[in-house]
Amino acid sequence: MKKIAVLPLDERPCNYQFNQMLIKGMPYEVLVPDLSLLGNKKIKGDLEGISAWVKDVAKSVDGIVLAVDTLVYGGIVPSRLHHDDVETLLERLNVIREVKNDYPNLKIYAYNLIMRNPQYSSSEEEPDYYEEIGREIHLYGVYSHKETLGILTDEERTYFNKIKESINKEDLKDYIDRRDKNIEVNLEFLKLVSEGIIEFGIVPQDDSSQYGLTATDQIIVRKAIKDLNIELNCYMYPGADEVTNTLLARMINQYENKKPLIYLYYASITGGMQIPLYEDRILNETIKYQVLAAGGMIVPSLEAADLCLLVNVPARNMIEANNQEQASLAYDADRNLIEYVEFADYAISLGKKVIIADVAYANGGDLNLLKLMRQKNILMKISAYAGWNTSSNTLGTCIPQGMFDLLYPNRKENLDFLGLRFVEDFGYCSVVRKSISNQLVQPYHYFLLDGHRASYVDRIKDELNTFIEKELNGNYIFEITDIYSPWNRMFETGVKVIVHEKN
């Protein structure tokens, strides 16, 4: 049994647990640091302890999948808040070089995010001042970028000048200085790839957009990738919380000497041309990266494929899952979800493994798709499903899941993860989260519940069980075995699900 160490991006289930769940029942063991070493949202992890864990675990594993943001900053959110100097940051990064020098046969895959720049004002995962001037900081970056490109309109220039006059200069400097430091880490990370210290790397972009500070940082990184001649060994595309799954799939496919062949199929002919919410490019090009990064290849025919990746998309602009009741009729006018589900059933009948990538909405599954899949009786016949957060989060979850089911089919553990995705992505993200959010009473709100396992979490469980009974239970029974709120807020939940086949 091969052992793979995983240093996750943070302590939430999507980063800490999904990778372990995905490979259960396979002849691989994933080793992760104890949760006590990792942080808690804005509280950074034990940086010395994390470095020590990486050095120690390297002795006994075949490969490492490593989140640089955890190694260097103590987690994804601390990467946006730190005040460390560049020398200190690069010294922490150098642990990767030390480990490779000590264990030259160790396979190291790693990823290092470009720092995000949200379009809205909120200090939930950003510095405190972002609560007041976050939108202005984002627009400052957008207008600076457009001015450089010569496409700033007169109206935008007027507002840009107002922002430059009114914005707190110290806060803006703090924000930009931190971005500059993080880019230095990004560039040093690329050097590790170019030297072969890191065998394969990804530079994901969390909550990216076409213009702004993240986009201009991306230009710097893309140039460095080209200058170092590492385009084939280091990819850059939208994503964050799913990348561990992707790199784990790539590593296991290499160990298995496999390159899964994937046939790509959309619910709408225009679907691949959409730019999803929170991303900076058309979906079709991101999907290519997601498949390649996981170790697969897209092929032009279903007959040649091992896996069929069915992507549920909007025909036009994507909206949030919370608003799908009002939008479903307009969505369905320009896509053919009926044919999409019929094709999924057809592919299954041919013996193909089917992956359902549900990116019709942001931050939740498409309830109309769930209805049709139930009617067609294919819910538990597919290999993989995801429909959570951003489109890249979804793709980087269901593509590895499908690949693992191809390598090691008929695992009960895969059915359990499939059940978890149905409960969490359809049930929680698209139904229960909105319902409970509307029930919150002061002093509690969307970003503050009454405890990780307190009364609001109990309500979430009750409503999820109601959803399960109404929308999921049939030939299979879905049982919630644990539930909590990882960051004591509504945005995500930590759920464990076991699926039982009805006698």
Distance, in Å, from the CA atom of 159 to the CA atom of 145, rounded to the nearest integer, reads 14
Q: What is the mean pLDDT of residues 149-172?
A: 96
* Residue at token pair 């699926």: 499
Residue 333: its pLDDT value, please?
81
Structure pTM? 0.97
pLDDT digits (tens, 9 = 90+) for 228-278: 999 999 999 999 999 999 999 999 999 999 999 999 999 999 989 999 999
pLDDT in tens, 428-461: 999 999 999 999 999 999 999 999 999 999 999 9
DSSP code per residue over 183-252: HHHHHHHHHHHHTTSSSEEEEEETT--SSSHHHHHHHHHHHHHHHTT-TTTEEEEE-STTHHHHHHHHHH
Q: In what order do the strands lie in the sheet with 307-312?
A: 297-299, 261-266, 307-312, 353-358, 384-386
pLDDT for res 328: 65
Looking at residue 448, the DSSP 8-state letter turns out to be: B
Measured in residues, the chain has a length of 503
Domains located in the chain, CATH noted: 2-117+173-254 (3.40.50.2300), 130-171 (no CATH), 258-409 (3.40.50), 438-503 (no CATH)
- Return the beta strands (E) in 301-379 as ranges: 307-312, 319-320, 353-358, 361-362
Give tens-digit pLDDT for 300-329: 999 999 999 999 998 888 999 998 887 767
Distance CA 485, CA 495 (A): 9
In the chain, what percentage of residues exceed pLDDT 90? 94
What span, in angstroms and rounded, lies between the C-alpha atoms of 348 and 68? 39
Phi then psi for 470, rounded to 5 degrees?
A: -80, -40
Average pLDDT estimate for 355-365: 97
The sheet carrying 200-205 orders its strands as 28-31, 2-7, 63-67, 107-111, 200-205, 234-238
- Return the H-helix or E-strand segment holding 495: strand 494-501
User: Alpha-carbon distance 286 to 272, whole Å?
Assistant: 9
